[in-house]
Amino acid sequence: MTEESGMEAIHELMANMGATALASVKRHADILAQYVPKPDDFTIKVDRPQLKEPSFLKCLIKIMESIQNEVQPQLKRLTEKNETEHKELRTQFKQDSNSRAIIF
């Protein structure tokens, strides 16, 4: 991979994410320079077609909706029927509150 093709890949990724600029660090550059070689100091503006949602965002939303659709029915079932140990503990606490001793 050449530097030019690498930059093209970065520009394509930026366009897919809806980013319009790539900038370098300005604050704490001296601390950063201790750990990372200094990047070239230039900015390239990226033009992209106006989309309602960038394709990267669409893909991310689709994945998150898939996870939500899979998990939501299980969570609803657990909360509606209260199928957790906490229900038993609350019931036991109410029953034992008259006897001054609570056994878990």
- Is residue 103 predicted with pLDDT exceeding 60? no
Helices (H), the chain: 3-17, 29-35, 55-81, 85-96
What pLDDT is recorded for position 91?
53
Query: pLDDT tens digit string along 72-89?
Result: 888 887 777 665 555 555
What pTM, to 2 d.p., does this model score?
0.30
As given in the structure block, the two tokens for residue 88 are 């038993």
Contact 7, 35 (CB under 8 A): no
Contact 43, 21 (CB under 8 A): yes
Among left, alpha and beta (phi > 0; psi -120 to 50; other), residue 37 is beta
Q: Could you tell me the residue ranges of all domains in the chain?
A: 1-50, 52-104
What pLDDT is recorded for position 5?
83
Rg (CA), the chain: 27
